[in-house]
Amino acid sequence: MAVPRESPFDIAYSPLRQALVVVVAIPTMIVLFWLPSKVGLFELESYFPWTVAAALTLLFGIGNSVLSLSAKDQNQYWGRSIMAFFVVVLAGIGIAWLFTGQSIYEVKSFRWLYVVFTFCYLLFLSMVRAMRKIVSIAQKQDARLRGERE
């Protein structure tokens, strides 16, 4: 008989640990693509590190929002999540700048991408929190209709 596994959505993941994973993944991915391009296997655009940093920032935002479902204390999770998001943004900008030597103002429209990603991240967090509240209300109503105690 198989032992039931805990769902990934039932485990409370620390937002700061999530951010650490992303901050480590940004230079790792850049180097993994940069090395073969230096050998001549393919060519990368000069703004490739900015693309990686922005993509992983968006991935963090979506993943962090979804994983907020398992948080016991939503207010505490929100505070840590927003702080972690800005750590990811600042680290991504810094890492991309180190690899390219170009500031965020010099590379196409990445500045606007970060503005949009920040807005979308806050929207995702709000939507997940609202959905969680609606489900909680529905569960309480369902329990009352079945005559169960709360």
Place of tokens 């890492």: 95
If DSSP codes are grouped into helix, strand and coil, which group holds residue 111?
helix
The pLDDT tens digits of the residues spanning 80-117 come to 999 999 999 999 999 999 999 999 989 878 999 999 99
Contact 77, 68 (CB under 8 A): yes
Q: 94: which residues sit within 8 A by CB, 6+ positions away?
A: none
Residue of 64, 59, 54, 58 whose CA lies nearest to 127: 64
Question: Interhelix angle for 74-100 vs 15-39, to 10°?
Answer: 20
pLDDT of residue 144: 86
Whole-number Å distance between alpha carbons of 57 and 111: 13
pLDDT of residue 55: 96
Q: What angle do CA 120, 124, 129 make, to 5 degrees?
A: 150
How many helices, marked H, and strands, marked E, lie in the chain? 4, 0
pLDDT of residue 42: 80
Sequential pLDDT tens for the chain (150 residues)? 565 566 665 666 899 999 999 999 999 999 999 888 888 788 888 889 999 999 999 999 999 999 888 888 888 999 999 999 999 999 999 999 999 999 998 987 899 999 999 999 999 999 998 998 898 899 888 888 887 765
Q: Answer whether 0.75 is exceeded by the pTM.
A: yes
Would you say the C-alpha torsion 40, 46, 49, 54 has a positive or negative sign? negative
Whole-number Å distance between alpha carbons of 94 and 103: 9
